[in-house]
């Protein structure tokens, strides 16, 4: 049969298909009882019509997949095929079941080699997702086991099939379709002499499943990020800076952003409120800057509530309870909650000129628009930190930064993009621009803010969702689809997080209390 002769259609089974279905099942299942009765098939169609799928070629039935709904907890425990069958050979279908059970998949011998079985399995998976069911279960025969029964136990046979040392027409096919063997089933189908009564319990997990009790409390999956590439400029008062901040927050809120993001130390120009002589004492100048932090925290929290937007407040200098200085980012939730993340790795310049200390805690923040982390500038150059956050199911990593030269910027950018790829998350890079020669240490800035994604088919070819014009004050937006992260983590071309060799290496945080900087005040 040539490909030009095929005219394939995927559709649901109807009662009128029974004569062809009976012929097909009798031919394939001649050794284990042949076809189901018409009453059995008609009842299954009536109770779960969407689950009965066939492929026809110009009206000829050439493939079919029969399915019922079951309780996941019950059928992931040991069971037999007869547990699915009621009186008069009626297949149990539970309308309240949270899983699908694959009963039969058959392909006409003349049509094998066209991957029609995979087509039926893909249709089942899409149905499972659309119905928000937990998984697809199946009791899989192992029909070639009788050829190896004398030298291999069923478990050894399954292991060799899994490693592709032995081919089994059913188990090998199931494994190739992303099913996992959960357990061995004994006396599953006693009349199946080729399998010697054994079967595998197979499971395909619907990683998009949302339990019914969580449906009303489900997080957003479409998240809009709004960020400000901030112009460093001279200000004559704290109020002038806050007025500029509120202008941007208002604008980002008007565009229905879920987050407003600002750069690292965006309020640093306030050091210019001191006279030039006072600025020469950099330790005194940075402590002067820290004196405004509490006011900024209060005002940004007010804006988050008033404008209904979560604000990643770049970073500011804060005096800890130990009277030491820390570079701290704040997450102002739109419900009024305030959380913080200290910069952990301090650059040589910060340590030398300002005597900034590194924090000692790392947080993942739960928000109404995903689980997020914040790493301030230099911290993103240490891949251990984003990996620890990724292990806490982070969706979005915010990186407020401040770099003076292009090579410094590119160092941060390249590291941030690598973090998006290796941790299968979104990374938002937000920096400041402008030259303020009248203020010590604010001479020059270089920035091109951007949003990075994992590198796979679901995302742009260069894994850059958006980026700004370099060295220009502006706002920019990106819409992030969190469902795509779930897909790439489970079914991507590569699956970095899943494929880590934890048998060879691991990574751990020394103190798993996950407090934000023990030396900082509670917020």
User: Residue 18 belongs to what H/E stretch?
Assistant: helix 18-28
Clarify whether 264 is annotated catalytic: yes
Give the residue from 8, 22, 130 showing the smallest Cα distance to 66: 22
C-beta of residue 302 within 8 angstroms of C-beta of residue 334:
no
What local confidence, expressed as pLDDT, does residue 508 receive? 86
Quote the pLDDT of residue 518: 38
d(CA 264, CA 345): 14
* Those residues with Cβ within 8 angstroms of residue 170's Cβ, 6 or more apart along the chain or in another chain: 140, 141, 142, 143
Residue 519's pLDDT is: 44
Q: How far apart are CA 326 and CA 399, in angstroms?
A: 17
376, 408, 223, 218: which is closest to 312 by C-alpha? 376
The whole-angstrom separation of Cα 162 and Cα 141 is: 14
Calculate ∠ Cα 59-65-69, nearest 5°. 135
Please tell me which residue in 264, 299, 357, 424 is annotated as part of the active site: 264
Q: Are strands 60-70 and 396-400 parallel, antiparallel or unpaired?
A: unpaired
Cite the DSSP H helix spans in 268-380. 276-279, 282-290, 293-306, 348-349
Distance, CA of 129 to CA of 138 (rounded, Å):
17
CA-based nearest residue to 67, from 108, 24, 100, 34: 100
Which of 128, 332, 377, 430 does the annotation list as catalytic? 377
Beta bridge partners of 63: 55, 107
What is the longest distance spanned by two Cα atoms in the chain? Answer: 97
Q: Which residue has the tokens 């941060």?
A: 412
- Is 194 annotated in the active site? no
| Rounded-to-integer distance, Cα 309 and Cα 364, Å | 18
Dist CA 463 CA 485 (whole Å): 13
Handedness of CA 236, 241, 242, 243 (dihedral sign): positive
Helix (H, G, I), strand (E, B) or coil at 174: helix
Tell me the C-alpha distance between 353 and 366, whole Å: 35
- The residue from 343, 350, 357, 430 that is catalytic is 343
Give residue 7's pLDDT. 85
Q: How far apart are CA 316 and CA 268, in angstroms?
A: 8
What's the rounded Cα separation, in Å, for the pair 200 and 181?
6
pTM of the model as a whole: 0.80
Render each residue's pLDDT in the chain as its tens digit; 523 residues: 555 677 889 999 999 999 999 999 998 888 777 888 999 999 999 999 999 999 999 899 999 999 999 999 999 999 999 999 987 789 999 999 999 999 989 999 988 888 899 999 999 999 999 999 999 999 999 999 999 999 999 999 999 999 999 999 999 999 999 899 999 999 999 989 999 999 999 999 998 888 865 544 556 789 999 999 999 998 999 999 999 999 999 999 999 999 999 999 999 999 888 766 656 677 888 999 999 999 999 999 999 999 999 999 999 999 999 999 999 999 999 999 999 999 999 999 889 888 999 999 999 999 999 999 999 999 999 999 999 999 999 999 999 999 999 999 999 999 999 999 999 999 999 999 988 877 766 778 899 999 999 999 999 999 999 999 999 999 999 999 999 999 999 889 999 998 999 989 989 888 655 444 434 444 3
For 201-222, give one letter per residue: b (16+ CB within 10 A) or e. Answer: bbbbebeebeeeeeeeeeeebe
Structure tokens belonging to residue 28:
């394939």
Q: Are strands 259-261 and 222-231 parallel, antiparallel or unpaired?
A: parallel
Q: What is the DSSP string of 415-466?
A: HHHHHHHHHTSEEEEE-EE---TTSTT-S------EEE--SSTTS-TTSEEE
Residue labelled with tokens 């030398």: 352
The encoded tokens of residue 175 equal 């494994």
Structure tokens at 475: 């706002």
User: 309-345: buried (b, 16+ CB within 10 Å) or exposed (e) per residue?
Assistant: bbbbbbbbbbbbeeeebbbbbbbbbbeebbbbbbbbb
Contacts of 499 (CB under 8 A, 6+ apart): none
The pLDDT, as a whole number, for residue 278 is 58
Residues in the chain, overall count: 523
DSSP state of 336: S
Three-state DSSP class for 234?
coil
Whether the CB-CB separation of 444 and 454 falls below 8 Å is answered with no
Say if residue 164 is exposed, middle or buried (CB neighbours under 10 Å; 0-12, 13-18, 19+): exposed
């Amino acid at each position: 049969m040539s490909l030009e002769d095929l005219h394939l259609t995927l559709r649901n089974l109807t009662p009128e298909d029974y004569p062809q279905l009976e012929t097909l099942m009798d031919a394939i299942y001649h050794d284990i009882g042949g076809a189901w009765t018409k009453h059995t098939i008609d009842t299954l169609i009536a109770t779960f019509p969407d689950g009965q799928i066939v492929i026809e070629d110009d009206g000829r039935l050439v493939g079919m997949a029969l399915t019922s709904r079951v309780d996941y907890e019950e059928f992931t425990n040991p069971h037999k095929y007869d547990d699915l069958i009621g009186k008069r050979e009626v297949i149990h279908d539970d309308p309240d079941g949270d899983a699908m059970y694959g009963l039969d998949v058959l392909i006409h011998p003349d049509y094998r080699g066209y991957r029609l079985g995979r087509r039926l399995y893909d249709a089942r998976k899409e149905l499972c997702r659309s119905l928000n069911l937990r998984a697809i279960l199946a009791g899989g025969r192992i029909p070639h086991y009788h050829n190896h029964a004398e030298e291999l136990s069923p478990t050894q046979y399954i292991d060799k099939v899994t490693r592709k040392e032995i081919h089994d027409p059913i188990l090998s096919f199931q494994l190739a379709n992303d099913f996992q063997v959960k357990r061995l089933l004994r006396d599953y189908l006693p009349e199946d002499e080729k399998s010697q009564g054994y079967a595998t319990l197979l499971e395909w997990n619907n990683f998009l499943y949302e339990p019914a009790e969580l449906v009303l409390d489900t997080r957003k999956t479409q998240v809009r990020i709004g960020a400000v590439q901030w112009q460093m400029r001279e200000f004559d008062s704290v109020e002038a800076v806050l007025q500029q901040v509120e202008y941007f927050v208002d604008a980002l809120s008007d565009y229905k952003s879920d987050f407003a993001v600002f750069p690292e130390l965006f309020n640093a120009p306030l050091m210019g409120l001191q006279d030039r002589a006072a600025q020469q004492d950099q330790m005194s100048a940075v402590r002067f800057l820290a004196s405004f932090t509490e006011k900024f925290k209060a005002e940004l929290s007010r804006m988050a509530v008033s404008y209904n937007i979560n604000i990643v407040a770049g970073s500011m200098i804060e005096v800890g309870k130990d009277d030491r200085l820390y570079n701290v980012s704040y997450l102002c939730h739109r419900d009024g909650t305030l959380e913080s993340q200290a910069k952990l790795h301090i650059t040589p310049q910060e340590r030398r000129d300002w005597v900034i200390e590194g924090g000692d805690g790392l947080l993942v923040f739960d928000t109404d628009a995903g689980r997020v982390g914040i790493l301030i500038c230099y911290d993103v150059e240490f891949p251990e930190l984003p990996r620890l956050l990724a292990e806490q199911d982070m969706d979005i990593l915010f990186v407020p930064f401040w770099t003076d030269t292009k090579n410094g910027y590119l160092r941060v950018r390249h590291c941030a993009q690598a973090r998006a790829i290796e941790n299968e998350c979104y990374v938002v890079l937000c920096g400041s621009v402008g030259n303020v020669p009248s203020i010590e240490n604010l001479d020059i800035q270089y920035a091109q803010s951007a949003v990075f994604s994992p590198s796979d088919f679901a995302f742009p070819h260069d894994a850059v969702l958006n980026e700004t014009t370099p060295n220009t004050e502006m706002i920019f937006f990106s819409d992030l689809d969190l469902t795509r992260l779930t897909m790439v983590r489970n079914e991507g071309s590569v699956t970095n997080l899943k494929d880590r060799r934890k048998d060879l290496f691991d990574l751990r945080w020394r103190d798993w209390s996950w407090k934000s900087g023990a030396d900082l005040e509670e917020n």
